[in-house]
Amino acid sequence: MFALAVILFSALPARSGPVPGSLPAQWNIGAEDCAAAPQPPLQVYAYEPQTLILRQNPCANPEANFLYLLIGSEKALLIDTGAVADAEKMPLARTVLALLPLKDGARLPLLVVHTHQHHDHYAGDTQFASLPAVQVIAPDLASVRAFFGFDHWPEGIAHLNLGDRVVDIVPTPGHESAHIAFYDERTALFFSGDFVLAGRLTIEDTAAEKRSAARVIAFLANRPVAHTLGGHIERDTAGHTYAEGATYHLNERALELSRQDLVKLPSALASFNGFYASHENYSITHPMHNLLALLFAAFVLLSVVAFVIYRLLRWRRRRS
Ligand SMILES: [Zn+2]
Ligand SMILES: [Zn+2]
């Protein structure tokens, strides 16, 4: 009986967990003087054979975006096209097409999508515009809603089947109104764009961001998360944030964030003062609120200066 049970058990397929992969401790970090030390524009790293990560060099563009290529048995999915349009400076389409496997003698069809409608995430679209067997979904909200079938945006989850590989799409507006995140069921990787990343979480709409964080936590409740991978790395290993426009990421920290970084987001947003907050692996900032606060402070300062000048003039007039 025991022998039969062993035979039966060993005949069953092994319990399938997420396909494991690896990430480098250090990516290409640019250079202090890009002209003196020319950098390869694009770094390609295989997390596992069917999951490729492309990093744009900080010298090519300081945004230094991360793009993700997921390969199924029927189709490949490119998430974001990065910050550089010029194919001479950034051979993105050429590199991506060369990475696509052949099926029945033809390259696998490619679907190009975006985490959101910020220029550094879709500037490379032009390189894919007229290629055969390539479909580019525009990053605006109407196109995103129509393609993925979000009838009750931002509620609901969409699903993309790449052939033996399903990717779930979670609406995550807040950083930008058409933002979406991607969960890959094959690897349990969560591609978070600029919704969550190791750096600045810049918020356009705090209420929408809070609802997005709750939506993501609910979606992930009974799913594993191998890593959370964002669109940029903006911090060094000591937790300092690089200056805007930096072409050199000295001691750049790892790309990946954990499930915990996502889980902590609702409480981080609940305690957000509307201007700035620093947390373990990211900071939260609301640029519009900060600008308004700056304008208000400038207005108060100018009013005080004007008042002082007025009193001084009156005082001098009385004395003369
Ligand atoms: Zn963005
Ligand atoms: Zn970005």
**SS3 per-residue string spanning 111-180:** EEECCCCCHHHHHHHHHHCCCCCEEECCCCHHHHHHHHCCCCCCCCCEEEECCCCEEEEEECCCCCCCCE
Of the candidates 69, 56, 115, 95, the residue with the CA atom closest to the CA atom of residue 249: 56
Distance from the alpha carbon of residue 121 to the mean position of ligand 2, in angstroms: 6
Residue pair 182/169 in contact (Cβ under 8 Å)? The answer is yes
Looking at all shown ligands, the one closest to residue 83's CA atom is 2
151: how many CB neighbours lie within 10 A of its CB? 8
**Taking 80 as the threshold, does the pLDDT of residue 1 lie above it?**
no
- Residues flanking ion ligand 2, Cβ below 5 Å: 120, 194, 231
pLDDT band at 14 (very low <50, low <70, confident <90, very high): low
Distance from the alpha carbon of residue 99 to the mean position of ligand 2, in angstroms: 24
**Taking 50 as the threshold, does the pLDDT of residue 238 lie above it?**
yes
Looking at all shown ligands, the one closest to residue 234's CA atom is 2
Distance from the alpha carbon of residue 202 to the mean position of ligand 1, in angstroms: 8
**Taking 50 as the threshold, does the pLDDT of residue 31 lie above it?**
yes
Q: What is the mean pLDDT of the chain?
A: 93
Q: What is the pLDDT of residue 2?
A: 44
Distance from the alpha carbon of residue 267 to the mean position of ligand 2, in angstroms: 23
Q: What percent of the chain has pLDDT over 90?
A: 83
Question: What's the pLDDT tens digit per position in 252-290?
Answer: 999 999 999 999 999 999 999 999 999 999 999 998 887
Distance from the alpha carbon of residue 175 to the mean position of ligand 1, in angstroms: 7
- Global model pTM greater than 0.85: yes
Cα–Cα dist 154/156, whole Å: 7
DSSP state of 255: S
Question: What's the pLDDT tens digit per position in 70-126?
Answer: 999 999 999 999 999 999 999 999 999 999 999 999 999 999 999 999 999 999 999
Owner of token pair 């679209």: 125
**Taking 50 as the threshold, does the pLDDT of residue 56 lie above it?**
yes
**Taking 70 as the threshold, does the pLDDT of residue 35 lie above it?**
yes
Alpha-carbon dihedral 139, 144, 92, 195, rounded to 10 degrees: 80
Distance from the alpha carbon of residue 231 to the mean position of ligand 2, in angstroms: 6
Question: How many CA atoms are closer than 13 Å to the CA of 156, on its beta-carbon side?
Answer: 10
Distance from the alpha carbon of residue 159 to the mean position of ligand 1, in angstroms: 23
